[in-house]
Amino acid sequence: MDKLTRLQQTRYLFARAGFGATPAELNDAARKPLRKVVRQLISDSESFAALKVVEPDENTTKRALRGLVRNGQLDRDMLKERIRMNAEKVRDLNLQWLDQMASGKSAFREKMALFWHGHFACRTMGQNPLFMQQYANTIRQNALGRFGDLLMAVSKEPAMLQFLNNQQNRKNAPNENFAREVMELFTLGRGNYSEHDIKEAARAFTGWQFTPEGQFVFRERVHDEGEKTIFNKTDAFKGEDVIAMLLENKQTARFVTGKIYRFFVNETDDKKRVEQLAEQFYKSGYDIAGLMESMFTADWFYEAKNIGTHIKSPVELLAGMRHALGLTFEQPQTQIFVQRTLGQILFYPPNVAGWAGGRNWIDSSSLLFRMQLPSYVLKAAEVTVRSKEDGDVNTQLLARKGGQRFQVKANWEDFETAFSKTTDADLADAIAAALLPFPLNTEQRTLIETQLNGAQTRPERIHALTAALMSLPEYQLC
Cβ-contact 318, 17 below 8 angstroms:
no
Interface region with another protein, contact rule CB under 8 A, candidates 102-110, 205-213, 256-264, 308-316: 308-316
The span from the CA of 258 to the CA of 471, in Å, is 32
The 312-351 site mask, x for binding another protein (CB under 8 A), equals -----------------------------x-x----x-xx
The 353-392 site mask, x for binding another protein (CB under 8 A), equals x--x--xx-xxxxxxxx-xx--x--------xxxxxxxxx
- Please report, to the nearest 10 degrees, the dihedral formed by the alpha carbons of residues 420, 425, 426, 428 taken in order: 100
Compute the least distance from the CB of residue 350 to another protein, in Å: 6
Q: In angstroms, what CA-CA distances link 112 with 143, 162, 291, 352?
A: 6, 24, 12, 18
**Which residues contact residue 88 at a Cβ distance below 8 angstroms, ignoring those fewer than 6 apart?**
397
Compute the least distance from the CB of residue 76 to another protein, in Å: 5
Cβ-contact 203, 229 below 8 angstroms:
no
Compute the least distance from the CB of residue 141 to another protein, in Å: 27
Compute the least distance from the CB of residue 275 to another protein, in Å: 24
Q: Which is nearer to another protein, 22 or 335 (CB)?
A: 335
The span from the CA of 367 to the CA of 395, in Å, is 25
**Pairing mode of beta strands 408-409, 233-235:** unpaired
Q: Which is nearer to another protein, 88 or 390 (CB)?
A: 390
Q: Which is nearer to another protein, 102 or 338 (CB)?
A: 338
Compute the least distance from the CB of residue 435 to another protein, in Å: 15
Compute the least distance from the CB of residue 240 to another protein, in Å: 25
Cβ-contact 369, 342 below 8 angstroms:
yes
Out of 444, 461, 463, 464, the residue judged to bind another protein by CB under 8 A: 444
Interface region with another protein, contact rule CB under 8 A, candidates 26-34, 222-230, 269-277, 352-360: 352-360
By CB under 8 A, tell whether 180 contacts another protein.
yes
Compute the least distance from the CB of residue 379 to another protein, in Å: 10
The 108-137 site mask, x for binding another protein (CB under 8 A), equals ---------------x-x------------
Out of 402, 417, 458, 460, the residue judged to bind another protein by CB under 8 A: 402
Phi, psi torsion values for 396, nearest 5 degrees: -55, -30
Angle between helices 34-44 and 288-297 (to 10 degrees): 150
The 250-289 site mask, x for binding another protein (CB under 8 A), equals ----------------------------------------
Find the radius of gyration of the CA atoms of the chain: 24
Out of 216, 231, 412, 438, the residue judged to bind another protein by CB under 8 A: 438
By CB under 8 A, tell whether 476 contacts another protein.
yes
The letter for the amino acid at 49 is A
Applying CB under 8 A, the residues found at the interface with another protein are 69-70, 76, 80, 123, 125, 180, 308-311, 341, 343, 348, 350-353, 356, 359-360, 362-369, 371-372, 375, 384-393, 402, 438, 441, 443-444, 447, 451, 468, 471-474, 476-477
